[in-house]
């Protein structure tokens, strides 16, 4: 399939940008069906904003307010960094869970005896 450069309008800044034939081939190779909606600059800004976004929480152990780099389902059911570190250190010394126990060795099938050969 031949690709040609296309002009697209960014949905954030409304500036026009070129979606090159090489980028289109890359999208096709990755199985992506939709063209980019943002220009390269706005994509970069959105990525940076997403990676630096913090969400407020209240630690379920000590009650202190804190921030986490992900959006918790329940902000009152999360540990602050200090309590998380303490819990991780305490869990490191515990034995493995029952579900992680080693499996029993497989039983071997009994060996078959060779068929009896009639004597002549």
Check residue 70 and give its pLDDT.
84
Cα-based angle 66, 47, 72 (whole degrees, multiple of 5): 30
Q: Is-contact 41 23, C-beta < 8 A?
A: no
What number is the average pLDDT over the span 25-32?
Answer: 94
Average pLDDT of the residues of the chain: 82
What number is the average pLDDT over the span 98-110?
Answer: 48
Selection from 16, 26, 37 nearest residue 7 by Cα: 16
Number of alpha carbons in the 13 Å side-chain half-sphere of residue 27: 14
Domain ranges across the chain: 1-53, 54-91
| CA 12 – CA 46 distance, rounded (Å) | 10
Write out the H or E segment, with its range, that includes residue 89: helix 81-92
Instruction: Convert the pLDDT of each residue in 35-70 to its tens digit.
Output: 999 999 999 998 887 767 788 899 999 999 988 888
What number is the average pLDDT over the span 17-37?
Answer: 95
3-state secondary structure of 23: helix
Report if pTM > 0.75: no
């Amino acid at each position: 399939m031949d690709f040609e450069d296309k002009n697209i309008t960014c949905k954030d800044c409304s500036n026009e940008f070129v979606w090159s034939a090489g980028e289109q081939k890359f999208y096709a190779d990755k199985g992506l069906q939709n063209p980019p909606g943002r220009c390269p600059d706005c994509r970069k800004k959105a990525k940076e904003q997403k990676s630096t976004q913090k969400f407020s929480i209240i630690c379920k152990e000590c009650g202190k307010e804190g921030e986490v780099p992900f959006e918790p389902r329940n902000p009152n059911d999360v540990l602050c960094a200090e309590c998380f570190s303490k819990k991780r250190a305490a869990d490191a010394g515990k034995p493995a869970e029952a579900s992680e126990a080693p499996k029993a060795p497989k039983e071997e099938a009994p060996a078959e005896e060779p068929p009896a050969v009639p004597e002549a």
